[in-house]
Amino acid sequence: MSSFRKANWKLIIRWVGTVLSVLLLAYLVVTAGVDEMLRTLGKLSLRSILAVIGLIFVSRLATFARWHVLLQIEKVQVNWRDSLRLTFAGLFAANFLPSTIGGDVVRLAGAMRIGISGSLAAASLLVDRLIGMAGMAVVFPFGFKPLMTILNLEQTSMSGGWQSTALLTSGKGLWGRVKKILRKVLDALSYWYRHPRYLFFAMLFTFVHMACIFFIIQILVTDMGESIPFWTTAGLWSLTYFITLVPISINGLGLQELSITSVFPLFGGLSHSTSLSVALIIRGLWIIGSLPGAFFVSGILSGDTYTQLSQDKNEGE
């Protein structure tokens, strides 16, 4: 009963956070000026629109490849068509069924139906997320310079930094949580200890996915008549990525857009109308990139996909 109540509270918090984030985003759209934003969007050329759509599908294929290589450690290797369908089904569920079914839940259910053990499927999804976070952590330092410039952190003494660190790590409850998370991570990684090359390739595909996102932002900003260094884009996007991970919004809806419209004008020097336009376009691209999953998600949830995927596997063999 207590776990049920806890889950309910988490869902309520996410719904409230989502509604507030969307309302704040709507307020930003109104205050920034709808006409101004439409003029900014009108600067996009057809070539740029086609380029960003192409890049979002390359990004989606990279995320498929990242998860696919993580599933190749057992004797019965997963057919690439199966993992491709499950990946797009998960993306579709995350964008269109966020209230009750998450993308990872759909991928987990589908993976188990095609014969992948539940422990491996769950571990692969966890490691898939961790590798994505690790990739963003790699480029995060590139956002330090604008952050430090704006916040005047160059003058911060080392002693002050150590004091802040001590305050953050002093609580027993926090340390207990960290140990619990680390234990889960180590347990999940145990599948790949003897196959580190799969982790390497997964990280490589993560960088491909990240590069696509950064180039999308570069193309959009340039077409809108502004500029921002590529590595600054990378660092600031990683900051918005980690902000979006805070579990107060369903699938980061509203929270991601608010993060972009706050971080990029403040630390990247972009105008609010450009940042807001980029945020809305990226949300639209997430949806467009997940549309192929509409053909697979219903079958996975109903159980029909198990037979179809198994038949495909046998035909492939």
Distance CA 288, CA 88 (A): 11
Q: How many domains does the chain have?
A: 1
**Position 88 in a domain:** no
> Token pair of 185, please?
């991570």
Which candidate, 281, 294, 292, places its Cα nearest to that of 52? 281
**Position 310 in a domain:** no
**Position 49 in a domain:** yes
**Position 133 in a domain:** yes
CA dihedral 187, 210, 257, 46 (to 10 degrees): -150
CA atoms within 13 A on the CB side of 158: 0
Write out the residue range of the structural domain in which residue 185 sits: 37-75+117-152+173-292
**Position 92 in a domain:** no
Per-residue pLDDT of the chain (317 residues; tens, 9 = 90+): 455 455 566 656 555 655 665 666 565 655 655 666 667 677 888 899 999 999 999 999 999 999 999 988 866 678 888 899 999 999 988 887 655 557 888 898 888 888 888 888 888 898 999 999 999 999 988 876 665 655 554 444 434 443 344 434 444 454 566 566 667 667 777 778 878 889 999 999 999 999 999 999 999 999 998 999 999 999 999 999 998 888 777 777 778 888 899 899 988 899 888 898 899 889 888 988 998 988 887 777 665 544 444 444 444 43
What 103-106 contacts at long range (C-beta under 8 Å, 24+ apart), as own/partner pairs, is 104/129, 106/297, 106/300, 106/301
For residue 115, give the DSSP letter: T
**Position 21 in a domain:** no
CA angle 46, 47, 49 (to 5 degrees): 65
CA dihedral 92, 98, 99, 104 (to 10 degrees): 90
* pLDDT tens per residue, range 26-78: 656 556 556 666 676 778 888 999 999 999 999 999 999 999 999 888 666 78
**Position 8 in a domain:** no
Which candidate, 199, 241, 210, 186, places its Cα nearest to that of 67? 199
**Position 125 in a domain:** yes
Distance CA 227, CA 127 (A): 35
pTM over 0.75: yes
Instruction: Note whether 87 and 64 are within 8 A (CB).
Output: yes
Instruction: Note whether 210 and 234 are within 8 A (CB).
Output: yes
